[in-house]
Amino acid sequence: MAEQGSGGDDVSRQPVKRSQSTQARATQAHSGQEQSGQKQSGQKQPRNKKSPPKPRPDSAPAQVARLLSMLPYLRSHPQAPVSEVAELFGVSERQVIRDLRVLWFSGLPGLSMGDYIEVDMEGVEGEGVISVSNADYLARPLRLRTDEAVALLVALRTLAEVPGSFERDAIDRAITKLEQAAGEVAERAGAVQVQVDGDAVADVAGTVRSALDDGRRLHLSYWVPARDETTERDVDPMRLVVVDGRLYLEGWCRRAEEVRLFRLDRVAGIKVLDVAAQVPREARPRDLSGGLFQPSADDELVTIRLTRAGRWIADYYPCESAEEIGEDEGLEVKLRVRDRRWIRRLALRLGASGTVIDPPDLAEEIVADAKAALSAYE
């Protein structure tokens, strides 16, 4: 058995550093010696089954995994700025420098002169650019792990499902290439499937898409569920978003003069106008990471008593609280409500399976609604 670059076997002590940049290296020189191996007890904690294994970004295995991607990146991007690498890898610049210090002490077995990976620490600390050499054996990143391959492939398939034939061809080609590169782990991609409710709104999505591509204004007839009313408005489109399997147009509503989301299945009519879209510079896409509906403390707090048949409410709408009541599996929930018209309609939908009990004047309004509706049958 032979290894590339023979360093001799008898290197059981802390590697002796190369002579160059001795000053900087000297500050690190003790690092190799004081490893007791005892301090890492935190690494072996039992797996938390609720979330994926997430090693801290500064844990040793995470650092090594990151370096194995960073090395090939640095190789193909000579003189990469520290700031850019930090952003790309989602760590601080200080962490990148700590990573590079680890590299600096790494190399071929034996770690004789010429075995070390070369890191230009002066360039890093001076101009803030990175150059690394003498690591040709780490020229390619690690293979994709199963969860990485699956997560990426499913994300791409979800993109492809969005109607409006959005770059479907490019997505299909990318999927084929990735499946090849991922090898057998790609076969597990069927483990997760995402279905986008797209077919019913494909025409509307196509129109939005063409307006986006041509930078044109749209006219919408849009149904507002709280009022059950169709409104007319001009919208300068910004993007198509899919949240929880539903398609939305995000755009600058010229009627409201703000960024609004329009659910495509509530678009009753759509027309591309012969006007260039003008999205104001201050318009920002909404942050959707917290979900679409973010209740505000200003919204009215409504209490509904649900029977067993009405329990679905707790699954569909974000509730402030939900309490089991009685013996027949009832539930009492509190919801934040912005528009009373919405909750009045919901109460009619619930019928006997849910009763608004607070605020009392709202409960009275609901009874009045039901009586007015009944009068049509007399």
Partner 1 sequence: MSQQAKSERLMNLVICLLVARGYVPKSRIRRVVGGYGGQSDEAFDRMFERDKDELREVGIPIETGSNDPFGDEEPGYRISRQEFELPEIRLEPDEAAVVGLAARVWQHSGLAAATSNAVLKLQAAGVDADRRALGAVEPRVGGEEPAFWPLWEAVRDRQPVRFSHRKASSATPMLRHLQPWSVLSWHGRWYVLGYDTDREDARMFRLSRIVGDVEPDGVPGSYDVPPSEEVRAAAAALGPAEPRDLPTAKVRIREGSGHILRSQAIDVRPDDEAGWEIATVRYSSTTRLAEEIATHGPDAVALEPAELRTQVIAWLSKVAGVTT
Query: x-or-dash pattern for partner 1, window 298-327, by CB under 8 A?
Result: ----------xx-xx--x--------x---
Residue among 20, 55, 214, 232 that touches partner 1 (CB under 8 A): 55
Sole residue written with tokens 């509307």:
204
Choose one: 18-26, 124-132, 228-236, 269-277; the region binding partner 1 (CB under 8 A). 228-236
In this complex, which beta carbon is closest to partner 1, that of residue 100 or of residue 253? 100
Q: What are phi and psi of 341, to 5 degrees?
A: -60, -35
Both tokens assigned to 221: 């007839």
Q: Which of residues 86-145 bind partner 1 (CB under 8 A)?
A: 88-90, 98, 101-103, 105-111, 137-138, 140-145
In this complex, which beta carbon is closest to partner 1, that of residue 73 or of residue 128? 73
C-alpha to C-alpha distance for 362 and 341, rounded to whole angstroms: 10
Choose one: 50-58, 126-134, 296-304, 332-340; the region binding partner 1 (CB under 8 A). 50-58
Q: Which of residues 343-372 bind partner 1 (CB under 8 A)?
A: 344-352, 366-367, 369-372
Please give the span between the terminal C-alpha atoms of the chain, in angstroms, as a whole number.
97
Sole residue written with tokens 């076969």:
187
Q: Which of residues 242-261 bind partner 1 (CB under 8 A)?
A: 242-246
Number of residues this chain uses to bind partner 1 (CB under 8 A): 155
Choose one: 122-130, 207-215, 256-264, 293-301; the region binding partner 1 (CB under 8 A). 207-215
Choose one: 18-26, 124-132, 227-235, 297-305; the region binding partner 1 (CB under 8 A). 227-235
C-alpha to C-alpha distance for 204 and 262, rounded to whole angstroms: 11
Q: Which of residues 179-198 bind partner 1 (CB under 8 A)?
A: 180-181, 183, 188, 190-197
- Please give the angle made by the CA atoms of 341, 263 and 203, to the nearest 5 degrees: 135
Residue among 80, 82, 149, 277 that touches partner 1 (CB under 8 A): 149
- Mapped onto helix, strand or coil, the DSSP state of residue 319 is strand
Sole residue written with tokens 């569909």:
316
- Mapped onto helix, strand or coil, the DSSP state of residue 211 is helix
C-alpha to C-alpha distance for 299 and 31, rounded to whole angstroms: 57
C-alpha to C-alpha distance for 318 and 104, rounded to whole angstroms: 51
In this complex, which beta carbon is closest to partner 1, that of residue 293 or of residue 298? 293
C-alpha to C-alpha distance for 198 and 205, rounded to whole angstroms: 8
In whole angstroms, the minimum distance from the beta carbon of 298 to partner 1 comes to 25
